[in-house]
Amino acid sequence: MTRPRPLTGRGDLADSVRVVGEFGVIARVVARAGSAAVAEVGPGDDAAVLRAPDGRVVATTDVLVEGRHFRRDWSSAEDVGHKAAAANLADVAAMGGVATALLVGLACPADTPTSWLEGVAAGMAAECAPLGAAVVGGDTVASAPGSGAVVLSVTALGDLGGRAPVLRSGARPGDVVAVAGRLGWSACGLAVLRRGFSSPLAAVAAHRRPSPPYAAGPAAADAGATAMCDVSDGLLADAGHLAADSGVVVDLDRAALVRTMLEPPGPMQQVAAALGADPLAWVLTGGEDHALLATFPSGAALPEGWAVVGEVRAGTPGVTVSGEPAADVAVSVGAGRTGHVHFG
Amino acid sequence: MTRPRPLTGRGDLADSVRVVGEFGVIARVVARAGSAAVAEVGPGDDAAVLRAPDGRVVATTDVLVEGRHFRRDWSSAEDVGHKAAAANLADVAAMGGVATALLVGLACPADTPTSWLEGVAAGMAAECAPLGAAVVGGDTVASAPGSGAVVLSVTALGDLGGRAPVLRSGARPGDVVAVAGRLGWSACGLAVLRRGFSSPLAAVAAHRRPSPPYAAGPAAADAGATAMCDVSDGLLADAGHLAADSGVVVDLDRAALVRTMLEPPGPMQQVAAALGADPLAWVLTGGEDHALLATFPSGAALPEGWAVVGEVRAGTPGVTVSGEPAADVAVSVGAGRTGHVHFG
């Protein structure tokens, strides 16, 4: 495990969680939290109280573990905050909702610099702010003795604005399959970092801070999407979840994926050429970009940002790529597996 | 750190998180989760969708770390589930709300027996069920390599049923101070376990599974409580938070506390006599029973389960016990500090 670096000098090492204490940390983090438009009672009481304009609330939790989902020598504190928030905000978008608030459970070693925690809070606040969301509560505790890794558990809440939630189970034969957002960039960036490089920066930055297409989720719901999910485990894996839950075959169009995700050529081709890899492997199996995958009735007008990359067919539930089984395609592009496995 | 015991035989060691995988764990845990009355979309999609009948939602997060908040050799998996749920459900009650749903973020070593996780889920379900609440979502990930401790981050959501939330900041001079629920039992049970004993069972059981007075929270709100909080850090410490946020002195009545919490004599006196301790130390500084502390206008009719234990005065914000400063009282009863420090 990579030990924390003193991020801004010697002062931080003295100014650790152990020294400042739980309440000191909370006060400093709250100062960075921004404020949620829906908050009637914000941080600092036993619980937050949030308006739920729709009369329903969307709720989801994702856990990030240091050494598995991020490394403190590869990502700044702000990067980790952006990434932890994005993973959850994207899940709300994938239901057709708009995120309104985050709650954060954090376990960290007692010697964690408070500046690192403030950086995480600032990153979360920055990722949330364009949506009007903010961190409204949480709990910070010291890890167990001898356990040096940070664990960050984030819960996002959101509002559906009157929309019906878009589930994974609604895809029907004849629907088109579409994607919004980027695929493969985070995995490409990780491949760069793993080899000890830090450029091309566009790929590395994509790994450090994903850019999920938040607005595409509610737009898809408004456009009549029949099923939707967030791509966090990789396209083949998440399409597989959607196919299984809907009882259908999701057939991805290889040429459409190349056209949509790999043209015009950019950093992914550059890195792939240097590493002797096939960039399609990252597109098909890379996780953590938090693109959205959805199905729409054939003939539906797709909202801005969505591109058709396949179609839904009847048959034994599963995923094919231009008719070929996903597992075979994963092997042929050198991915070796259909699902994303985090780097720990 | 105590390593996990094989809870029901050799089969469990093979049947670990590493073997079953994340999706296998989730499927097994969801099978134990029960179902939430407010759930429109339950576990298994990108996010849950929950009805918020009040038009607002109460939200709170607490983190439990193995070795600090529980030990797997002192508490069963079911106990840990009960305790993690109770800590959060009590926070919702302390706002005047009724909990509706939990989301759970769990990081655990890859060799954790799946039966242990199923036990945690069963304990959470059992703690939630009387309220009509249930686990509606979550995320389970393997800990970082070399990090052997379980981290459990629980978010509770709740409904106010039209009540105004009761904050910590509303206490006014002249109000009475009242408590609902038990104080000191968990700390007493911990003292027993620390010395290697397992009886009296009533005290040990109270440490393993707190019994927060959930209904007393909304009842206090209905009765006009001016301020309220959950006692999780110890009575003196949490009364201090309420005093600070309200800008008042909370004066606790020592005789009333003894009468309410230590009469008739029971397991706490028995343990205190054996250990040469003053049971009032546990009452004043023990956390984790999740009693509720509230203030009411003088003359208000207190709901069932609430007992007056002091009064609110004007002055430099702080806590006194029959006029004596809290810190001095803590020393005089042998607690040595006003706040609860978890055992890690």
Reported ipTM: 0.91
Residue B212 forms contact with A (CB below 8 Å): no
Please indicate if any CB of chain A lies within 8 Å of the CB of B244: no
What are the residues whose beta carbons fall under 8 Å from the beta carbon of A130, sequence distance 6 or more? A214
Is CATH 3.10.20.30 what the domain over A10-159 is classified as, yes or no? no
Backbone dihedral angles phi then psi of residue A201, each to the nearest 5 degrees: -60, -35
Q: What is the pLDDT of residue B304?
A: 96
Give the residue from A1, A22, A6, A212 showing the smallest Cα distance to A105.
Answer: A22
CA distance A302 to chain B (A): 21
Q: Rounded CA gap, A328 and A269, in Å?
A: 22
When mean pLDDT is compared across A74-88, A93-107, A186-200, B144-158, the lowest value belongs to B144-158
- On chain B, the residues whose CB falls within 8 A of the CB of A155 are 59, 61, 103, 105, 155
* Other beta carbons less than 10 A from residue A215's beta carbon: 16
A313 bridge partner residues:
A249
Provide the pLDDT confidence category of residue B15 given band limits of 50, 70 and 90.
Answer: confident
pLDDT tens string B20-34: 766 667 667 767 777
How does pLDDT run across A207-236, given as a tens digit for each residue? 999 999 999 999 999 999 999 999 999 999
Structure confidence at residue B35 as a pLDDT band (50, 70, 90): confident
The backbone region for B194, taken as left when phi is positive above 0, alpha when psi lies in -120 to 50, beta otherwise, is alpha
Q: What is the mean pLDDT of residues B235-241?
A: 97
- Per-residue tokens: B301: 């009719």
Q: Which CATH code is given to the segment(s) A176-332?
A: 3.90.650.10
Q: What is the pLDDT of residue B160?
A: 98
Q: Which of residues 214-233 of B touch A (CB under 8 A)?
A: 228-230
A153 vs B48: CB contact, 8 Å cut-off?
A: no
pLDDT at A13: 44
Question: What is the average pLDDT across B172-201?
Answer: 96
C-beta atoms of A95 and B167 within 8 A = no
Under 8 Å CB pairs connecting chains A and B tally to 249
Q: Cβ contacts (< 8 Å) between A91 and chain B: which residues?
A: 46-47
Q: Chain A residue closest to B137 (CA)?
A: A60
pLDDT band at A11 (very low <50, low <70, confident <90, very high): very low
Q: Is A176 helix (H, G, I), strand (E, B) or coil?
A: strand
Residue B91 to residue A56, Cβ atoms within 8 A: no
B142/A contact by beta carbon, under 8 A = yes
Q: Do residue A139 and residue B44 have CB atoms under 8 angstroms apart?
A: no
> Residue A18: its pLDDT value, please?
75
Residues counted in chain B: 344
Annotated binding site of A for Mg(2+): 46, 60-62, 91, 139, 230, 233
Determine if residue B232 is labeled as part of a ligand binding site: yes
pLDDT of B9 > 90? The answer is no
Question: Which of A:245-274 have CB within 8 Å of B?
Answer: 245
The CATH number of the structural domain formed by B11-159 is 3.30.1330.10
- Residue in A with minimal Cα distance to B147: A147
CATH 3.30.1330.10 in chain B, residue ranges: 11-159
Put simply, whether A153 touches B (Cβ < 8 Å) is: yes
| CATH 3.30.1330.10 domain range(s) in chain A | 10-159
Give yes or no for a contact between A148 and A109, defined as CB atoms under 8 angstroms apart.
Answer: yes
- Per DSSP bridges, beta strands B39-41 and B151-159 are unpaired
pLDDT tens column, A34-87? 789 999 999 989 999 999 999 999 999 999 999 889 999 999 999 999 999 999
Which pLDDT score, from 0 to 100, does residue A4 have?
Answer: 29
Query: pLDDT at residue B4 above 60?
Result: no
Specify the pLDDT at position A317: 98
pLDDT, average across residues A127-148? 88
Contact B86, A86 (CB under 8 A): no
Name the residue among A224, A236, A344 with its Cα closest to residue A293. A236
Q: Select from A151, A168, A246 the residue whose CB has the most chain B CBs within 10 Å, as the one to mutate to test that interface.
A: A151
Average pLDDT in the B317-323 region?
98
pLDDT at residue B158 tops 80: yes
**In this complex, do B229 and A139 lie within 8 Å of one another by their Cβ atoms?**
no
Among B77, B83, B64, B109, CA closest to B206 = B83
Q: Can you give the pLDDT at residue A6?
A: 32
Is residue A337 less than 8 Å (CB to CB) from chain B? no
Residue B281 — φ and ψ, nearest 5°?
-60, -40
Q: Tell me how far apart the alpha carbons of residues B71 and A211 are, in angstroms, rounded to a whole number.
A: 40
Residue A1 in contact with partner chain B when CB distance is under 8 A: yes
The answer to whether A33 contacts chain B (CB < 8 Å) is no
The confidence score (pLDDT) of residue A163 equals 98
Amino acid at site B81: G
Is B152 buried (19+), middle (13-18) or exposed (0-12) by CB count in 10 A?
buried
Measure in Å the smallest separation between the Cα of B212 and chain A Cα atoms.
Answer: 14
- ∠ CA B65-B47-A218, nearest 5°, is 140
Pairing of strands B249-252, A227-231: unpaired
Cβ-based contacts of A96 with chain B (< 8 Å)? none
Q: Choose the closest CB to B60 out of A48, A63, A154.
A: A48
Return residues 192-211 of B near A (CB < 8 Å): none
* Nearest CB neighbour to A144, from listed B1, B144, B168: B1
Q: Is B148 on the interface with A (CB under 8 A)?
A: yes
Residues of chain B in contact with residue A157, where contact means CB-CB under 8 angstroms, are 57, 59, 157
What percent of chain A shows pLDDT beyond 90?
80
pLDDT digit string, tens, across residues B64-81:
999 889 999 999 999 999
Alpha carbon separation from A223 to A182, A297, A309, A310, B96 (Å, rounded): 20, 9, 17, 18, 40
DSSP secondary structure code for residue A233 in this structure: S
Give the C-alpha separation, B310 to B23, whole Å.
Answer: 51
- Which residues in chain A are closer than 8 Å to B95, comparing Cβ atoms? 41, 45-47, 49
d(CA A261, CA A217): 19
Task: Tell me whether residues B147 and A107 touch, CB distance under 8 A.
Answer: no
Of B1, B158, B168, the CB nearest to A45: B168
Closest by Cα among A273, A313, A154 to B104: A154
Query: Closest to A59 (Cβ–Cβ): which among B53, B157, B229?
Result: B157
- Quote the minimal CA–CA distance from A46 to chain B in Å: 5
Question: Is the pLDDT confidence value at B338 over 70?
Answer: no
Mean per-residue pLDDT, A152-167: 98
User: For chain A, how many residues are written?
Assistant: 344
Of A140, A100, A128, A115, nearest to A34 by C-alpha is: A128
Written in H, E and C, the secondary structure of chain B is: CCCCCCCCCHHHHHCEHHHHHHHHHHHHHHHCCCCCCCEEECCCCCCEEEECCCCEEEEEEEEEEECCCECCCCCCHHHHHHHHHHHHHHHHHCCCCEEEEEEEEEEECCCCEHHHHHHHHHHHHHHHHHHCCEEEEEEEEECCCCCCCCEEEEEEEEECCCCCCCCCCCCCCCCEEEEECCCCHHHHHHHHHHCCCCCCHHHHHHHHCCCCCCCHHHHHHHCCCCEEEEECCCHHHHHHHHHHHHCCEEEECHHHHHHHHHCCCCHHHHHHHHHCCCHHHHHHHCCCCCEEEEEECCCCCCCCCEEEEEEEECCCCEEEECCEEHHHHHHHCCCCCCCCCCCC
In this model, does residue B11 exceed pLDDT 50?
A: no
Q: Is B342 annotated as a binding residue?
A: no
Q: How far is it, in rounded angstroms, from Cα A120 to Cα A107?
A: 13
3-state secondary structure of A312: strand
For A92, the 3-state DSSP assignment is helix
B169 is in an annotated binding site: no
Beta strands, E only, A72-216 = 98-108, 134-142, 151-159, 176-180
pLDDT of residue A273: 95
Q: What are phi and psi of B9, to 5 degrees?
A: 110, -175
A140 CB neighbours in chain B (<8 A) are 63
CB contact under 8 A, B107 and A56: no
Confidence of residue A12 (pLDDT cuts 50, 70, 90): very low
Q: How far is CA A17 from the centre of its chain?
A: 27
pLDDT at B343: 41
CA distance A155 to A182: 24
pLDDT of residue B106: 94
Whether the Cβ atoms of residue A101 and residue A121 lie closer than 8 Å to each other: no
Q: Would the annotation count B73 as a binding residue?
A: no
Please determine, for residue A338, whether its predicted confidence score (pLDDT) is greater than 80.
Answer: no
Find the mean pLDDT for residues A304-321.
Answer: 98
Q: Kindly state the average pLDDT of the residues A309-317.
A: 98
**Residue that wins the pLDDT comparison between B146 and A320:** A320
Question: How high is the pLDDT of residue A126?
Answer: 96
- Tell whether the model's pLDDT for residue B38 goes beyond 60: yes
- The per-residue pLDDT for B335 is 83
- Give the pLDDT confidence score for residue A22 in this predicted structure: 65
